[in-house]
Amino acid sequence: MAVRRLSESLSRTLMEDIHRCSLKKQTGVSLKYMMDFSGYPTGNNLLFSAQFLHKELPVRLAHRVIELENLPHRLSIKAPVLKVRDWYVDSFKDLRSFPEVLNSADELKFTELIHQIKIRHNNVVPTMAMGIQQLKEDLGRKMGLNELPEIHQFLDRFYMSRIGIRMLIGQHVALHQRRPPAGYIGLICTHVSPVEVAQNAIDDARSACMRTYGSAPEVHVYGDPSFKFAYVPTHLHQMIFELLKNSLRAVQELFMDADHDCPPIRVVVADGNEDVTIKISDEGGGIPRSGLSKIWTYLYTTAKSPLANGEQIQDTPNVMAGYGYGLPISRLYARYFGGDLQVISMEGYGTDAYLHLNRLGNVQEPLP
């Protein structure tokens, strides 16, 4: 396939437009702002939100297009990366050719457009992962991404930006629901019970563990089930699910051949004034200190990578482990709303993961 730089394949006006937008500052919003603003989605609110997105989304996309064009180690010209870049360019074009949003009819059409854009970008993560995998193969198997900090930092920025774009689109689209579930403002639920979300994530992670190993360690939850706070339940589920899969795998592999029961994994939910913290503790043997920095890099895994066989990876992987994305992506989700994720290990014993979620939600989105 002939590699085409953007300047060869796009018109000069479009190219200039992308450059111009990429120089504009991105505008961040906070969880609190999203809730206050869209508590009662009147026609005017929807119109205002659409007008904001009509201006903001092209700016965010343009930042990414320029970055995707200028990656080190010739990553920009890998076929999967070009594919991702072209999705960003197509969405940029679609948004820029959409006329000003002036009334509710325009607003409906615009909502349909951004909904389609969100679908277009569904497979960005696995597609980028294929590009990174090809780079890894070029550079030799020995070199991990922790030796390529600029690629790692790019991926952190890129995926963080993606979380933000999808949150903004998802939120706007969800405000159009005729009968929103009780307590929901778009994608945000004003009273999420972390204990309940943890229970669901446990069921899902244990099922995945069962499918892979034929059995699954127990998981116990400690915390007040009636405690609730405002968050995006899908984000919370995803983070807890990823942490549990890691713990289940570690415990399962360590105790697979043992003749006694394996120690349960413990999930503790704490509600502080500032943070809601969820700790997931396992006795799965821990992570050696020398490996601790690597766990945050993309594509570092101690599982057999399905990517190495040239297999396509799925957006919602149905397997226990193997992509190396679980931890770094979960940390981005936590940071997106001002939280964080820490992993502390005692080699020879087990691992504790601390998921901190900012409670007030008035921290602005990070805008890479």
Ligand X SMILES: Nc1ncnc2c1ncn2[C@@H]1O[C@H](COP(=O)(O)OP(=O)(O)OP(=O)(O)O)[C@@H](O)[C@H]1O
Under the rule (CB under 6 A), what is the footprint of ligand X? 242, 246-247, 250, 282, 284, 287, 295, 300-303, 317, 321-327, 351
**Residue closer to ligand X (CB basis): 22 or 246:** 246
Name the H helices within 97-148: 104-120, 124-139
**Residue closer to ligand X (CB basis): 34 or 341:** 341
Q: How far is the CB of 256 from ligand X (least distance, A)?
A: 14
**Residue 41 in contact with Mg ion, rule: CB under 5 A:** no
Which range of residues in 106-114, 179-187, 244-252, 263-271 is near Mg ion by CB under 5 A?
244-252
**Residue closer to ligand X (CB basis): 9 or 215:** 215
Which of 326, 328, 339, 361 lies at the binding interface for Mg ion (CB under 5 A)? 326
In the β-sheet with 229-231, what is the strand arrangement from edge to edge? 184-185, 188-192, 229-231
Q: How far is the CB of 356 from ligand X (least distance, A)?
A: 17
Around Cβ 153, how many Cβ atoms within 10 Å?
A: 11
Q: How far is the CB of 283 from ligand X (least distance, A)?
A: 10
| Ordered DSSP codes for 202-263 | HHHHHHHHHHHHS----EEEES-TT--EEE-HHHHHHHHHHHHHHHHHHHHHHHTT-SSPPP
Q: How far is the CB of 250 from ligand X (least distance, A)?
A: 3
**351 interface partner picked from Mg ion, ligand X, none, CB below 5 to 8 A per type:** ligand X
Q: What are phi and psi of 99, to 5 degrees?
A: -65, 170
Angstrom CA distances, 223 to 175, 196, 199, 238, 310, stand at: 32, 10, 11, 19, 43
d(CA 40, CA 44): 10
Residue (of 344, 332, 329, 319) closest to 245 by Cα position: 319
**Residue closer to Mg ion (CB basis): 101 or 280:** 280
Q: How far is the CB of 246 from Mg ion (least distance, A)?
A: 4
Q: What are phi and psi of 279, to 5 degrees?
A: -110, 135
Residues with Cβ within 8 Å of residue 46, at least 6 apart in sequence: 104, 107, 111, 172, 175, 176
Q: How far is the CB of 143 from ligand X (least distance, A)?
A: 17
Question: Side-chain half-sphere of 310: how many Cα atoms within 13 Å?
Answer: 0
**217 interface partner picked from Mg ion, ligand X, none, CB below 5 to 8 A per type:** none
Which range of residues in 34-42, 224-232, 255-263, 321-329 is near Mg ion by CB under 5 A?
321-329
**Residue closer to Mg ion (CB basis): 80 or 326:** 326
d(CA 316, CA 323): 11
Which single residue brings its beta carbon nearest to Mg ion? Answer: 326
**Residue 351 in contact with Mg ion, rule: CB under 5 A:** no
**Residue closer to Mg ion (CB basis): 286 or 326:** 326
**Residue closer to ligand X (CB basis): 64 or 245:** 245
Q: How far is the CB of 140 from ligand X (least distance, A)?
A: 20
> Residue 32, Cα to own-chain centre: how many angstroms?
20
Question: Side-chain half-sphere of 271: how many Cα atoms within 13 Å?
Answer: 13
Which of 76, 193, 246, 247 lies at the binding interface for Mg ion (CB under 5 A)? 246
**Residue closer to Mg ion (CB basis): 28 or 144:** 144
**Residue 328 in contact with Mg ion, rule: CB under 5 A:** no
Q: How far is the CB of 285 from ligand X (least distance, A)?
A: 6
3-state secondary structure of 125: helix
**234 interface partner picked from Mg ion, ligand X, none, CB below 5 to 8 A per type:** none
Q: How far is the CB of 11 from Mg ion (least distance, A)?
A: 43
**Residue closer to ligand X (CB basis): 111 or 212:** 212
| Residue 353 exposed, middle or buried by CB count within 10 Å (0-12, 13-18, 19+) | buried
Around Cβ 334, how many Cβ atoms within 10 Å?
A: 22
Interface residue list for Mg ion (CB under 5 A): 246, 321, 326
